[in-house]
Amino acid sequence: MIPQLPLALRWPRRQRFEHFHPGSNAGTLAAVEQLAHAAHTPWLYLAGPTGSGKSHLLMAACQAAIQGGRTVQYLPLASIGNRAAAIRGVAGSEFLALDDLGVIAGDREAEHALFDLYNQAKAEGAALLFAAEVLPVQLGLGLPDLRSRLGACQQALLKPLDDAERRNVLREQAATRGIELDDTVLDWLFNRYARDLGALLDLLDQIDRASLAAKRRITVPFLRVFLRESEPGS
């Protein structure tokens, strides 16, 4: 069994439902919240590209389930070596979230482990939440029974926020800190850095601390200096 860790040590502070910006995904957010808060809710399978918020929702659901008194496990399968052993190790938890499901495609032991976990969770009344880049029929699983089980889950497609939505979120988050990001600054950031919202918000944290320390407004010249000095080896 993978040990339970204290909430503050295990979950990133921003990975909560209240920090998820749904855009056109409001219905999916509501379905995940319901699964996290209520027993006997249909299991859910999230599909969407990188940057669409899948991991955010899985971790937010885990935190909500913990706060509701349930035992929880989150498996980021892409970063786990022995995936079959890890999947078998979470059996018995009341709420299970399995991320990056596509990486087990073609791994016979991992596929069978997930099939067994699915059946055990169903028998024990546990809740399962899955996430992958594509729907179950597109995963390329070698085990037909597993493909059928996953296909029986409620399925939801996640769409990434578009550029205008990401810019609005970044501007709003900056405003809560008393920072005004003008269009010139936003253009510069979006042209040079990954448009993944989580990465941009992490960058905003760093920029905010640096501007406070330097007692300077956030402008393009300030960003050039800050980011040059923060590069490894600078």
Mean pLDDT score, 61-72: 93
Q: Which residue has the higher pLDDT, 58 or 6?
A: 58
Per-residue pLDDT tens over the stretch 144-154:
999 999 999 99
In a domain, residue 39? The reply is: yes
Average pLDDT, the chain: 88
- In percent, how much of the chain has pLDDT > 70? 91
pLDDT bin (cut points 50, 70, 90) of residue 9 is very low
Select the highest-mean-pLDDT range: 98-112, 158-172, 174-188. Answer: 98-112
Cα–Cα–Cα angle for 137, 37, 65, nearest 5°?
Answer: 85
In a domain, residue 16? The reply is: yes
Domain C-terminal end among 157, 177, 200: 157
In a domain, residue 208? The reply is: yes
Mean pLDDT score, 65-80: 93
Residues 29, 35, 37, 40, Cα dihedral to 10°: 150
Q: Domain residues for 207?
A: 163-230
Per-residue pLDDT tens over the stretch 106-151:
999 999 999 999 999 999 999 999 999 999 999 999 999 999 999 9
Q: Which two tokens stand for residue 172?
A: 């709003």
Residue 46 belongs to domain with CATH number: 3.40.50.300
Residues 20 and 36 in one domain: yes
Residues 29 and 140 in one domain: yes
In a domain, residue 149? The reply is: yes
| pLDDT for 198 beyond 80 | no
Q: Give the pLDDT score at 179.
A: 86
Mean pLDDT score, 152-167: 91
What whole-number distance in Å separates Cα of residue 95 and Cα of residue 131? 14
